[in-house]
Amino acid sequence: MKSDKTYKIHLVRSFKGALDNTGTEHTSLDRRYDPFHHRVTPIETFVSRTAELVHRIDQDAQIGSERSGLTAPRIAKTLTLQIDDRTFTVSDRWPAPIPTPSTVHDENRLFLESAQVGVAAFAKAVAERWPILADGLAAELGRLEKRLRSNCHHILSRAERHGKVIRARAARDGLTSVPSGPVQ
């Protein structure tokens, strides 16, 4: 199912802009479907691949990522990217109590904005410390962009399918308070 929504994330451009100093500086057991897991897993994979690249030339570098729950002042789940003593945060607000395609689209968009800032800053820090890895990082960032877009489209199409099921169930049961189409 192809959606008419688009997601903009430009990790390679942000990374290259940051290297040129032309970019902006920003620095469970529950069995329910968790969009946060689906959104951050590609970033964790990127960090793992980056760590492999770095460890080929510097065995002492400490690179990793860590998930956490509630953060203040916003209620959000976070993924913290770490390089030695520096940290970069990617946040994902808690999902709406009743997810609709519109709220899921907003959540995806806000997550991608946060990911672009956090991942680009992380990649810039890695490239500044190990300049020889810049090309490898750019390639990994390209893969990450594609995966993040794909995962966000998957999450959105899942919400659209769920909305159709709810509307069909409501029509079958004679309920009238359920929207008849996707909420924009």
What's the token pair of residue 106?
């907003």
> Is residue 2 pLDDT above 70, yes or no?
no
Dihedral sign of CA atoms 96, 9, 6, 160 in order: negative
DSSP string across 79-114: EEEEETTEEEEEEEEPPPSS--HHHHHHHHHHHHHH
pLDDT at residue 22 greater than cutoff 50: no
What does the pLDDT look like over 45-83, one tens digit per residue? 999 999 999 999 999 999 999 988 765 555 778 899 999
Query: What integer pLDDT is reported at residue 162 of this predicted model?
Result: 85
For residue 103, pLDDT over 70 is answered with yes
Rounded to two decimals, the pTM is 0.74
Amino acid at 112: L
